[in-house]
Amino acid sequence: MVVEKIMSDLDENKDGEVDFQEFVILVAALAVSTLLQHASGHRK
């Protein structure tokens, strides 16, 4: 499943849990992705 793959990729220390620091990486990546998508949509 896609969610399980994402969670596995986020779990950098492979302890079976996504801790706060690993979660912040996800939030930052989503923020950057959203910003880039939004910015590219306004350039038309």
- pLDDT tens, 2-41? 999 988 999 999 999 999 999 999 999 999 999 999 988 8
Tokens matching residue 8: 């596995």
What confidence score (pLDDT) does residue 11 get? 94
- pTM (two decimals): 0.65
- In order, the DSSP letters of 1-37 are -HHHHHHHHH-TT-SSS--HHHHHHHHHHHHHHHHHH
What confidence score (pLDDT) does residue 41 get? 80
pLDDT at 44 over 70: no
- Taking every pair of Cα atoms in the chain, the longest distance, rounded to a whole number of angstroms, is 45
